[in-house]
Copies of this chain bind each other. A is one copy, B any other.
Amino acid sequence: MAVYTDLSDEELADLLAGYDLGRALAFKGIAEGVENSNFLLETEAGRFILTIFEKRVARSDLPFFMNIMETLAARGVPAPRPMRNRDGDLFSEVRGKACTIITFLTGVSPKRPNAAQCRAIGVRLAQMHEALRDFAEVRANALSVDAWAPLVRPRAALANSLRAGLAADVEADLAALEAAWPQGLPRGVIHADLFPDNTLFLGDETKGLIDFYFACTDALAYDLTVCLNAWCFEPRGAFNLTKGQALIAGYESVRVLSEAERNALPILARGAAMRFFATRLADWAETPAGALVRPKDPLEYADKLGFHRSAKNAADYGG
In the complex, what residues of B have CB within 8 A of residue A24's CB?
Answer: 108
When the two chains form their complex, are residues B26 and A3 in contact, meaning their CB atoms are under 8 A apart? no
Q: Whole-angstrom distance between the alpha carbons of A2 and B30 in the complex? A: 9
When the two chains form their complex, are residues B25 and A40 in contact, meaning their CB atoms are under 8 A apart? no
Q: A3-B31, A32-B28 are in contact. Are A9 and B110 (CB under 8 A)?
A: yes
Interface membership of A58, Cβ < 8 A: no
In the complex, what residues of B have CB within 8 A of residue A256's CB?
Answer: none
**Nearest CB on B from A181, distance (A):** 35
Closest to A289 in B: B288
When the two chains form their complex, are residues B27 and A30 in contact, meaning their CB atoms are under 8 A apart? no
Closest to A104 in B: B26
Give the residues from 1 to 53 in chain A that come closer than 8 angstroms, CB to CB, to chain B. 1-3, 8-10, 12, 23-32, 40, 42
**Nearest CB on B from A121, distance (A):** 14
A26 contact from B31, B106, B290, Cβ within 8 A: B106
Give the residues from 276 to 296 in chain A that come closer than 8 angstroms, CB to CB, to chain B. 288-293
Interface residues on A, range: 35 or more
When the two chains form their complex, are residues A293 and B290 in contact, meaning their CB atoms are under 8 A apart? no
Interface membership of A312, Cβ < 8 A: no
**Nearest CB on B from A207, distance (A):** 9
Closest to A25 in B: B106
Give the residues from 97 to 117 in chain A that come closer than 8 angstroms, CB to CB, to chain B. 104, 106-112
Interface membership of A202, Cβ < 8 A: yes
Q: Whole-angstrom distance between the alpha carbons of A106 and B23 in the complex? A: 12
Per-position 1/0 for A107-151, Cβ under 8 A of B: 111111000000000000000000000000000000000000000
**Nearest CB on B from A311, distance (A):** 28
30 CB contacts below 8 A, A to B, read A1-B2, A2-B292, A3-B31, A8-B112, A9-B109, A10-B111, A10-B112, A12-B108, A24-B108, A25-B106, A25-B107, A25-B202, A26-B107, A26-B200, A28-B30, A28-B31, A28-B32, A29-B30, A29-B31, A29-B32, A30-B31, A30-B40, A40-B40, A288-B290, A290-B290, A290-B291, A291-B291, A291-B292, A292-B292, A292-B293
Q: Which residues of A contact B (CB under 8 A)?
A: 1-3, 8-10, 12, 23-32, 40, 42, 104, 106-112, 200-202, 288-293
